[in-house]
Copies of this chain bind each other. A is one copy, B any other.
Amino acid sequence: MEKNNKLLSSRKEEFFIGWICGFVDGEGCFCVSFNFRDSMPCGIEVRPSFSISQKSHSLESLQILMDHFGCGGIRYSSKDGTYKYEVRSIKDLNQKILPFFRKHSLFTKKKEDFYIFDEVCKLILSGQHLNKSGLRDIVIKSYKLNGSGKRKHTLEVLLKFIDELKV
């Protein structure tokens, strides 16, 4: 009886895990952005992030996600009046976000985005963003991601900058 109860309660957990996957399939964003930073070895800072935006009336759903993953933060964007749950820390991405979506596969095109994002995070974790060829590889892979919104810099501008590096 106790065993069955455990199974029944894990059914509820399965529903919730399914809900997270469906919600992320619909609204989630796996993104990698790049900024010029003199202090970085190759002059470019690499910022991976996992995020979901919602209007204020659905703020609770972001809270549910944050509670589940136990990392990241929610902030308000006055630009478009939305709230965004975002995980930027590579440590949290590596320990909490990536393992979840490796285990619980997405169904839409975002599944492919996740594969690329996962690969890019692994490259960052192994320090590949700190050398010229590694950074080039990361930039090219990251620009294959959808849903990255408006890019500050075009792929061409970044690659030209990297190719001209004397590192």
A interface residues (Cβ-Cβ under 8 A, vs B) = 3-4, 7-8, 10-12, 14-27, 54-55, 57-58, 60-61, 64, 104, 107-110, 112
Copies in the complex: 2
Instruction: Report whether A61 and B25 are in contact in the complex, using a CB–CB cutoff of 8 Å.
Output: yes
In the complex the two chains form, what is the Cα distance from A7 to B12 in whole Å?
A: 12
| Interface SS, A side | helix
* Residues of the B chain whose Cβ atoms lie less than 8 Å from the Cβ of A4: 3-4, 7
* Residues of the B chain whose Cβ atoms lie less than 8 Å from the Cβ of A55: 109
Contact of A57 (CB < 8 Å), options: B8, B64, B109: B109
Instruction: Report whether B58 and A109 are in contact in the complex, using a CB–CB cutoff of 8 Å.
Output: yes
How far does the Cβ of A44 sit from chain B's closest Cβ, in whole Å?
29
